[in-house]
Structure 1
Amino acid sequence: METGEKTINDVFRNRVNKYGERLAVEKKLNGVWHGATWAQYYARARAAGLGLWSLGVRKGQMVSLLSENRLEWLYTDMGVLGIGAVVIPIYPTLVAEEIEYIINNSESKVIVVENETQLVKVIEIIDRCHMLEKIVVMEKKDASGHARVMSFGGLMARGGKKHAEDPTLFEMLSRDVTQDDLATIVYTSGTTGLPKGAMISHGNIFWVVQSLDAIRPHFASDRDCTVPFLPLSHVFERIAGHYYGMYCGITASYAESIDTLLEDFAQKRPTMILAVPRVCEKVYQKIMAQVREQSSFKQKVFYWGQKVGCRISELREKHRSVPAWLKFKYKIAYTMIFKKLQDRLGGRVTWMTASGAPTAEEIIRFFNAAGITVIQGYGMTETTAPATMQSLADYRIGTTGKPIPGQDIKIADDGEILIKGGNVISGYWKLPDETREAFTPDGYLMSGDIGMFDDEGNILITDRKKDIIITSGGKNVAPQKIENLFKSDPLFTQFIVIGEQKKHLTGLCNINLEEAARLAKEGNIPFSNPAELLGSEKFIAIVQKHVDERNTHLARYEGIKRFRIVKSDFSQDGGELTPSLKVKRRMVQQKYKALIDEMYEREEVADLYKK
């Protein structure tokens, strides 16, 4: 930490002074990388901030930001914070009605949108957004067509003119910001209803980066680089990636899209990657599907190498020495197998995160065997991202690590994780009742998650309190454990457990069509298109065998008795997943009610005859 730093504004200014003409950020658009040095980054953020100032935005007022990851997002974010205003990030996947709710609830004065697609959404609702005065469009070349619309270039020009008139204004405004000032309102992803605006202060943000800095020697330095691809609108990428990366002086090369990720990794060769479990699961499933297409000999070599790698991982986790003979075997296994995975990620990755939800140990050990340590942590929007994190120096698979420095965590009698610390929000925007309900009388945030401490002080997450399934027989079931077990089978890309107040558990699943085609060929099941298999009784019998095999790893009451294949993949667009790829269970149960009822129909009819 530099002397006198108290807010992210101070950090930004000091890193600019320290690194100047070194590359700070870049973004790939249409196959071309566009970048900014630290000095350029600051000048553009200043122009964006002063441009908004010239439009009448003042300290404490709200500016919404509706865009995919791009440099203008970063410029706007740091510009808004620099003038003491408040950033309201909005996911670009949201529909007009959801955007309307956030604009009105936050009382946003200006919204900055990415392109014509997002502009159309806002124009549709603008007459119902009475406090919204201006729409700024990043990709718009001119301001014609609507009196309240202007281009991002026009905003920057206004800011540049303002700086020329008063060269000290931006720095004065940024220095005037205190830790008590509100920095951003992040609306929760709404897995259980209307989103709530979590009020995150400059103090919350700075507390987190300082806390992470206490374990920083094991994680990051200003020689590191990363290729971010998670949405900046999500608190994890914004805090642990954007702000902490700035704190460390890391170069961030933002990927063009998920589809170009491997190409972008190869070009920029990151040393670390911030990811969520679903990304790790997809990579793992794809590799395992490819392995199953190889000859019997190559499969045996792969599984031998994986076993060697996992043994190395286990010994390192226990801080035990690795025998010379095992090191020799691993060298062979790495050259033949794991180097290919490393190369696909750019060849320099030493660690990656899989935070936000539990990840199957089988998948973590696979990456660890390749020399890529998978770091898990635990946190939520209300804790300004991390509350616990694994350390490379004290690593335990199956946990989310110890509380980060300064974090106070205890477990309630019912198993709920309770959290207190400088990263915990003061409350929800304009929701005093919900704020009171979120905290215990002694000031601990009630996380809604069920967990426990292990003997070494690491936190183990069992499930979401609201996700716990209570069967009609009174059994408490943690669905995520079961779902992770099924998703470690390459046949299933998604698996959602159902069973609240039912006699037994059932499941809705998405099928990996590549793996389905391979299994169909093995079973001599004819098909012209893999999608046809999802309605084939012979193929469904194969799926049943996979379900039966997974059930052998579960207690009897945890087993999946029936399942249904959902032919369209669960997605954000379909409404089943949040932008951070978590399942919206309530939405799934509403959308697929007919399928769910079908799985329990016979049982319920039989029960009626018994009465």
Structure 2
Amino acid sequence: MEDFIAKASPEFEYCTKENEDTATIIYTSGTTGSPKGVMLTHGNFIKAFDAHFEFFKFKNFEEELSLAFLPLTHVFERSWSLLCLYGGARVYFLEDPKNISKALEEVKPTMMCAVPRFFQKVYAGVLEKAEEGSGVKKKIFKWALQTGWQTAELKRNEKSIPLDLKIKQTIADTLVFSKIKDRMGGRLWFLPCGGASLSPEITRFFESVGIHVTVGYGLTETTATLTLFPLTRFEHGSSGRPLPGVEIRIGENDEIQARGNGIMKGYYGKPEETQKVFTGDGWFKTGDAGKIDDNGNLIITDRLKDLMKTSNGKYIAPQPVENLLTNNNFIQQIVLIAEGRQFVSALIVPNFEFLRDYLRKNNIAFTTWEDIVKNEKVNDFYKKKIKELQSDLSDYEKVKKFTLMPSEFDISTGEITPTLKVKRGVVLKKYAALIEEMY
């Protein structure tokens, strides 16, 4: 360091940085209000990174390779990419996320952080491909998934794998799983997931394939991670356990509260707003509802501000229902409406790639998407699909009416965040007339 200082240009002043000094200001996505500048310190980042390495005990981390395709303006990708560099791994940056498929095959990453929509699309695509196969191929696929699941469960619980199951797993990997993994570059084994909740059937699927999806929970205000899946003994459907140095408690109205090394310095230029999100004894109020199970895993219920109450007095948490429906390959995005209404409705953005294929197979002439989403046959198809998908829901949770949208919700129009979460307030206001038509 002395040599560096000696060679430094006299035009620059070398300044030491303390843990309490602000390292960056990252603005929140503003899904439920105006974006606020979150001040994160050098200590926030360094202590959070050290906690991750203590938590996972990675081996030969400097040999890992990460592909960054999410916006660096968001705390998730920013923190993950910095963590990789901090640990000596290589990071490739992708400018256009739409080229992710090609980039995966070219870069062949071993690690990569992603949002739930990425996993949903892979999952839906694989199931669709399997469904199109012959009867024999369907049986092989089903057998492979069962074999992979048995193996994954033993690994998750740190139990030895019998020789016969090892042989079956090798066959399953050769016939099925290797093809799925090759489409993702062939070397991925560790995938942190954040930004929103992810259905347990999807994490189970990836574990069966041999790719560990590390579901986590956190906010911009907490330097991303508060809790996450360990490599073993995690609980599907949960958000994992707290990082070292992080404490979690459940406060009033089941609100998740936290304190620890990653908690922000405050909102830039907004001391009153900062004060509002801290309790009198210094715990940060996340605005999310949840509970902690007997094994210390955090279970997210929903965002408190997102909870909806129908005119019949029933409370509905939209995220589980929205996840259930978007896990299907024909639904790209969805926004539930229920607050103060007599029943649940939804704005649905079709997966246009799969819908176009459906039109071709059913001899429905393509005109424009504006016309297609109003097509009676297309709407009947979605009615049937949605009825099947929500068969296990309580009647008051089910979508009774919906409107198909002719285009995706987009970042440029302010309808979604950089991590693809829908800004519910923006969408509800912008499409108020369409919503009223359903009632």
TM-score, normalization: structure 1? 0.68
CA distance in 2, matches of 1:418, 1:360: 23
**Which of 283, 295, 298 is the aligned partner of 2:134?**
295
| Residue in 2 that maps onto 1:383 | 222
Cα deviations across residues 420-470 of structure 1 (Å, max 9, x unaligned)?
112111221111211111111111110001111111001111111101111
1:362 aligns with 2:201: yes
CA distance in 2, matches of 1:219, 1:544: 50
Aligned residues: 438
In the alignment, structure 2 segments of 5+ residues that lack a partner are none
| Residue in 2 that maps onto 1:527 | 365
- The alpha-carbon deviation at position 393 of structure 1 amounts to 3.0
SS of the residue corresponding to residue 253 of structure 1 reads: strand
| Residue in 2 that maps onto 1:281 | 120
SS of the residue corresponding to residue 311 of structure 2 reads: coil
Q: Would the aligned equivalents of 1:388 and 1:403 in 2 still touch at CA under 8 Å?
A: yes
CA distance in 2, matches of 1:207, 1:333: 41
| Residue in 1 that maps onto 2:399 | 560
Cα deviations across residues 387-411 of structure 1 (Å, max 9, x unaligned)?
1111103322111111100111100
- The alpha-carbon deviation at position 381 of structure 1 amounts to 0.6
Q: Aligned-residue CA RMSD in angstroms?
A: 2.4
- The alpha-carbon deviation at position 589 of structure 1 amounts to 0.3
- The alpha-carbon deviation at position 415 of structure 1 amounts to 0.8
CA distance in 2, matches of 1:231, 1:185: 15
In structure 2, do the counterparts of structure 1 residues 577 and 219 end up closer, same or farther at CA, with 3 Å as the change threshold?
farther
In structure 2, do the counterparts of structure 1 residues 303 and 533 end up closer, same or farther at CA, with 3 Å as the change threshold?
farther
Query: 1:212 is matched by which residue type in structure 2?
Result: H
Cα deviations across residues 81-102 of structure 1 (Å, max 9, x unaligned)?
xxxxxxxxxxxxxxxxxxxxxx
- 1:205-244 matches, within 5 Å, as 205-218=45-58, 221-242=61-82, 244=83
Cα deviations across residues 480-515 of structure 1 (Å, max 9, x unaligned)?
000111011111111221101112111111112333
Q: Would the aligned equivalents of 1:516 and 1:530 in 2 still touch at CA under 8 Å?
A: no
| Residue in 2 that maps onto 1:166 | 10
In structure 2, do the counterparts of structure 1 residues 363 and 220 end up closer, same or farther at CA, with 3 Å as the change threshold?
farther
In structure 2, do the counterparts of structure 1 residues 315 and 368 end up closer, same or farther at CA, with 3 Å as the change threshold?
same
CA distance in 1, matches of 2:90, 2:289: 36
Percent of aligned pairs sharing the same letter: 37
Q: Which has the larger radius of gyration?
A: 1
- The alpha-carbon deviation at position 530 of structure 1 amounts to 8.2
Query: 2:231 is matched by which residue type in structure 1?
Result: L
- 1:448-463 matches, within 5 Å, as 448-463=287-302
Query: 1:346 is matched by which residue type in structure 2?
Result: G
Q: Would the aligned equivalents of 2:345 and 2:399 in 1 still touch at CA under 8 Å?
A: yes
| Residue in 2 that maps onto 1:181 | 21
Cα deviations across residues 298-317 of structure 1 (Å, max 9, x unaligned)?
33332332233233323333
In the alignment, structure 1 segments of 5+ residues that lack a partner are 1-12, 18-42, 47-161, 601-611
1:483 aligns with 2:322: yes
SS of the residue corresponding to residue 329 of structure 2 reads: coil
Query: 1:342 is matched by which residue type in structure 2?
Result: K
SS of the residue corresponding to residue 316 of structure 1 reads: helix
Query: 1:214 is matched by which residue type in structure 2?
Result: E
The structure whose RCO (Cα within 8 Å, separation 6+) is larger is: 2
- The alpha-carbon deviation at position 194 of structure 1 amounts to 2.2
- The alpha-carbon deviation at position 567 of structure 1 amounts to 1.2
1:422 aligns with 2:266: no
| Residue in 1 that maps onto 2:172 | 333
| Residue in 2 that maps onto 1:445 | 284
In structure 2, do the counterparts of structure 1 residues 566 and 455 end up closer, same or farther at CA, with 3 Å as the change threshold?
same
| Residue in 2 that maps onto 1:502 | 341
- The alpha-carbon deviation at position 232 of structure 1 amounts to 1.4
- The alpha-carbon deviation at position 219 of structure 1 amounts to 7.2
CA distance in 2, matches of 1:440, 1:306: 47
CA distance in 1, matches of 2:305, 2:402: 22
| Residue in 1 that maps onto 2:412 | 573
1:271 aligns with 2:115: no
In structure 2, do the counterparts of structure 1 residues 279 and 239 end up closer, same or farther at CA, with 3 Å as the change threshold?
same
- The alpha-carbon deviation at position 364 of structure 1 amounts to 1.6
Q: Would the aligned equivalents of 1:378 and 1:400 in 2 still touch at CA under 8 Å?
A: yes
Query: 1:475 is matched by which residue type in structure 2?
Result: K
| Residue in 2 that maps onto 1:203 | 43
Cα deviations across residues 356-403 of structure 1 (Å, max 9, x unaligned)?
210112222222121101101111011011111111033221111111
SS of the residue corresponding to residue 263 of structure 2 reads: coil
Question: Does 571-580 or 284-293 show the bigger shift?
Answer: 284-293
1:394 aligns with 2:238: no
In structure 2, do the counterparts of structure 1 residues 219 and 504 end up closer, same or farther at CA, with 3 Å as the change threshold?
farther
Cα deviations across residues 530-587 of structure 1 (Å, max 9, x unaligned)?
8454222122111101111112121122111111111111121232211111110001
Q: Would the aligned equivalents of 1:517 and 1:530 in 2 still touch at CA under 8 Å?
A: no
CA distance in 1, matches of 2:219, 2:132: 40
Q: Would the aligned equivalents of 2:216 and 2:240 in 1 still touch at CA under 8 Å?
A: yes
- The alpha-carbon deviation at position 256 of structure 1 amounts to 4.0
In structure 2, do the counterparts of structure 1 residues 374 and 426 end up closer, same or farther at CA, with 3 Å as the change threshold?
same
| Residue in 2 that maps onto 1:311 | 150
- The alpha-carbon deviation at position 521 of structure 1 amounts to 5.4
Q: Would the aligned equivalents of 2:373 and 2:379 in 1 still touch at CA under 8 Å?
A: yes
SS of the residue corresponding to residue 554 of structure 1 reads: coil
Cα deviations across residues 143-168 of structure 1 (Å, max 9, x unaligned)?
xxxxxxxxxxxxxxxxxxx976439x
- The alpha-carbon deviation at position 330 of structure 1 amounts to 2.6
CA distance in 1, matches of 2:8, 2:248: 50
CA distance in 1, matches of 2:249, 2:414: 34
CA distance in 1, matches of 2:60, 2:344: 43
Query: 1:232 is matched by which residue type in structure 2?
Result: L
| Residue in 2 that maps onto 1:31 | none
The runs of 4+ residues in structure 1 deviating greater than 6 Å are: none
